[in-house]
Amino acid sequence: MKPLFAINLTDDKKNEVVNGSEFVTKKASIQNTDSLEENQEELKQVIKKSQLPLWLQIATYICGAYALIVAINVLTNLELGLMQIFKNAPALIISAIICGVIWLVLFVYSKIKSKNVLAKENVEQQIADIDKDLDAIYSELGVPKDAISIDILMFRYKIKDGEIKPYGGMQNVPYLNFEIKAYTDGKCLHFADAENIYSFDLSELRGITTVNKRIATMGWNKAEHPRKGEFKQYKITVSDESIPYIIYKPFHILEGEHNGENYGIYFPCYELPAFERLTGLRAKTEIEE
Q: What is the pLDDT of residues 32-51, one digit of tens each?
A: 888 888 888 888 888 888 88
**Sequence letter at residue 188:** C
What residues form DSSP beta bridges with 154? Answer: 176
Strands 6-8 and 215-218: unpaired
Residue 248 has pLDDT above 90, yes or no: yes
- What is the percent of the chain where pLDDT is above 90? 55
pLDDT of res. 288: 59
Tens digit of each residue's pLDDT (9 = 90 or more) over 142-187: 999 999 999 999 999 999 888 899 887 656 788 999 999 999 999 9
pLDDT of res. 240: 67
Mean of pLDDT values over 52-65: 89
Round the average pLDDT of the chain to a whole number and report it: 89
Between CA 278 and CA 96 the distance in angstroms is 55
pLDDT of res. 281: 95
Between CA 76 and CA 230 the distance in angstroms is 38
